[in-house]
């Protein structure tokens, strides 16, 4: 059974991103590993999964039309963290998100 634990005081966007990130681990059936390289790969993969789940190309395009390209403004409009906006941009630049 999976449990997601989170600390008090997270913003709504931080909580949404954290839960989506943990769902990414569940989707990929990740287990705890005591290997920093493998762990870093799992964390990055979970972030990419979460970003794809939370931000569609259309939603990003609409947000950018409303608030411009500033990552903080986009994050607020999309209700995600700035980190996830940056991950989305990186995936989009690599054509991994259409």
What residues does each domain of the chain span?
Answer: 12-93
Residue 97 has pLDDT above 80, yes or no: no
Report the C-alpha gap between 29 and 15 in whole angstroms: 21
Measured in degrees and rounded to the nearest 5, phi and psi for residue 70 equal -65, 125
Mean pLDDT of 53-66: 97
The number of helix segments (H) and strand segments (E) in the chain equals: 5, 0
Mean pLDDT of 62-79: 98
- R_g of the chain, CA atoms, integer Å: 14
* pTM as predicted: 0.86
């Amino acid at each position: 059974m999976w449990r997601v634990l989170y600390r008090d005081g997270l913003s709504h966007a931080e909580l949404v991103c954290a839960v989506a990130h943990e769902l990414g681990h569940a989707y990929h059936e990740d287990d705890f590993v005591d290997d920093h390289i493998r762990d870093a790969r799992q964390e990055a993969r979970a972030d990419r999964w979460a970003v794809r789940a939370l931000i569609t190309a259309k939603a990003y395009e609409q947000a950018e039309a409303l608030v411009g390209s500033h990552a903080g403004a986009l994050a607020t409009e999309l209700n995600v963290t700035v980190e996830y906006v940056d991950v989305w941009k990186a995936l989009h630049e690599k054509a991994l998100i259409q």
